Amino acid sequence: MIEAIAAAVTWLGASLIVLADGRRGLALGVALATLGLSVVVWQDAGPVPALLLAAGGGLAAGGRAVAGPAGWGLMPPGSTPRIVLSVGAGLLALWIALGITSGPGGALRFAVLTLVGMAVARVLSTESAEVQLTAAAVVAIAVAAAAGLDANAPAVWPSAAAAFIAAGTGWLRLGVPRAA
């Protein structure tokens, strides 16, 4: 039951990343997505990978909260395709994770599919560098969490690398290009 709630929180965070343009919305999206995914990873792979992912996502959310367009920027005009993406990607990921694939780890499969699919779609659909970096941080965390799908694969090193990447992308500062 905890895994299902955590996977739903992950979807909610990914939806905020898709629906928001402002730094507050993006930071909350990263925080929720990371929190939900970390709980699922804790249940499947143990506390060390989960804490590493939570630390990287927390640093990425903190960095995004202080940089980027001000405000929430939640559902600006023309957001209907983003709403459809949020709902459709969640339903498609749920169907794949629970209907097509089998075995343990359904919540982890759902969370990873949701985050990767929605974040990559957000990267491809925006020109805002802050939004792209936010989505890239979440993709790194989700890909590292996918290492937990294989019980024999080590989950600590991919989680540490993803935490480093997520924290780094969250704190990158983008300047305005200037002609010399």
Query: What predicted TM-score, i.e. pTM, was given to this entire model?
Result: 0.87
> Residue 73: pLDDT above 60?
yes
Instruction: Summarize pLDDT for 164-180 with one digit per residue, the tens.
Output: 999 888 777 766 555 55
**Can you spell out the DSSP letters for 140-177?**
HHHHHHHGGGSTTS--HHHHHHHHHHHHHHHS---PPP
Tell me how far apart the alpha carbons of residues 30 and 13 are, in angstroms, rounded to a whole number: 6
**Structure confidence at residue 66 as a pLDDT band (50, 70, 90):** confident
Mean pLDDT of the residues in the chain: 87
Instruction: Please name the amino acid found at residue 168.
Output: G
For residue 180, what pLDDT is reported? 54
* pLDDT, mean of residues 114-118: 93
Span 135-165, pLDDT tens digits: 999 999 999 998 877 777 777 888 888 999 9
Per-residue pLDDT, 99? 80
